[in-house]
């Protein structure tokens, strides 16, 4: 039996970029009983509070999108926070979901779980075949633990817990901070502010040679719900576009969309992060799903959203 339109679905992290889009897409597809709790209402790092929530609310399905996230600088600066808080959230929610009889749980990982020097494109079976990227190792270890926890709960208890591994995500509602955001929104904000200030240059961390893959956030939500509705396998599934470009090419594309006329200056004293990170998405495509929004269109939609909402954004 699959999800019914009135099934009670709990989206953990429903205010974040990932969770909010999954909740929105569920509602668009006609699911009428989708719930979420703010951090003030439910501290997911508190085991007693999580257990109490599951006992009272009794969700039938769970999407575990809650996580402490950030870019290279944040991961490098606060590694203890990243590993501890993510391990707490995952362990509390997954265990409570099992013990309270949740019918299905979807855990969201991150493509940073794969080895730094991984064979490209990255197949799911390449997990744990090499050393991780040091700049986000703490976060990656936590996410690996989460997906392995789902795998072992399925193996030992036959719990229907599945995991999905999205590539780099972006889109409306993203974090546009300069110290704790990901590369695409940070570049967009830099380009916009440089354009407004009529600046001559924009600084970009690294050499610009690192290669990255990006998935529009609405496509991510659609792919996750597809898995909730259609996949019960023990192994996790990559979610992406299967296409990549260099950070330099990304910066040029954002520059064009934003309309910044100055020059790009690459600060080679700053780290590039993982040299290349392209997911093999053949497994997802074989299941019957493929992304719809290409990168240029996604950047245009994101910039339009940024222009409409920049006055209300809390960006640091």
10 included as an active-site residue: no
Q: Is 205 assigned a ligand-binding role in the annotation?
A: yes
Q: Is 110 assigned a ligand-binding role in the annotation?
A: yes
Q: Is 70 assigned a ligand-binding role in the annotation?
A: no
Q: Is 13 assigned a ligand-binding role in the annotation?
A: yes
Q: Is 181 assigned a ligand-binding role in the annotation?
A: no
Cis ω before 169 (30° cut-off from 0): no
Residue located via tokens 């599951």:
54
Catalytic site residue from 98, 139, 216, 291: 139
Q: Is 19 assigned a ligand-binding role in the annotation?
A: yes
Q: Report residue 107 as tokens.
A: 């855990």
Q: Is 233 assigned a ligand-binding role in the annotation?
A: no
Q: Report residue 93 as tokens.
A: 């929610």
Q: Is 167 assigned a ligand-binding role in the annotation?
A: yes
Q: Is 135 assigned a ligand-binding role in the annotation?
A: no
Q: Is 255 assigned a ligand-binding role in the annotation?
A: no
Task: Report the alpha-carbon distance of residue 217 to residue 200 in Å, rounded.
Answer: 31
Q: Is 192 assigned a ligand-binding role in the annotation?
A: no
Q: Is 164 assigned a ligand-binding role in the annotation?
A: no
Q: Report residue 85 as tokens.
A: 């808080």
Q: How far does Cα 268 stand from its chain's mean position?
A: 27
Annotated binding residues for substrate, written as ranges, equal 190, 205, 212, 272
Annotated binding residues, written as ranges, equal 13-19, 108-111, 143, 166-169, 182, 190, 205, 212, 272
Annotated binding residues for NADP(+), written as ranges, equal 13-19, 108-111, 143, 166-169, 182
By annotation, the residues acting in catalysis are 139
């Amino acid at each position: 039996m699959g999800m019914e339109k009135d099934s009670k679905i709990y989206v953990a992290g429903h205010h974040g970029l990932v969770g909010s889009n999954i909740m929105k897409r569920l509602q668009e597809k006609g699911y009428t009983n989708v719930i979420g709790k703010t951090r003030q209402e439910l501290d997911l790092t508190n085991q007693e509070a999580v257990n109490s929530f599951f006992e009272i609310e009794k969700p039938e399905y769970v999407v575990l999108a809650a996580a402490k996230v950030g870019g290279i600088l944040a991961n490098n600066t606060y590694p203890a926070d990243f590993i501890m808080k993510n391990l707490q959230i995952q362990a509390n929610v997954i265990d409570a979901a099992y013990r309270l009889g949740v019918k299905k749980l979807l855990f969201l990982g991150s493509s940073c779980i794969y080895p730094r020097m991984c064979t490209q494109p990255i197949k799911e079976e390449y997990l744990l075949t090499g050393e991780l990227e040091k700049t986000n190792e703490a976060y990656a270890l936590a996410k690996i633990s989460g997906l392995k926890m789902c795998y072992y709960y399925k193996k030992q208890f036959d719990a229907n817990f599945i995991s999905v591994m999205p590539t780099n995500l972006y889109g409306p509602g993203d974090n546009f901070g300069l110290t704790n955001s990901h590369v695409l929104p940070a570049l967009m904000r830099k380009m916009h502010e440089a354009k407004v200030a009529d600046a001559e240059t924009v600084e970009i961390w690294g050499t610009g040679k690192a290669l990255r893959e990006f998935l529009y956030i609405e496509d991510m939500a659609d792919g996750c719900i597809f898995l909730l509705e259609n996949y019960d396998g023990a192994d996790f599934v990559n979610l992406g576009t299967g296409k990549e470009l260099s950070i330099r090419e990304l910066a040029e594309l954002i520059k064009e969309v934003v309309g910044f006329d100055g020059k790009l200056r690459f600060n080679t004293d700053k780290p590039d992060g993982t040299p290349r990170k392209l997911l093999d998405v053949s497994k997802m495509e074989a299941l019957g799903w493929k992304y719809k929004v290409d990168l240029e269109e996604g950047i245009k939609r994101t910039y339009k959203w940024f222009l409409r909402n920049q006055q209300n954004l809390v960006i640091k």
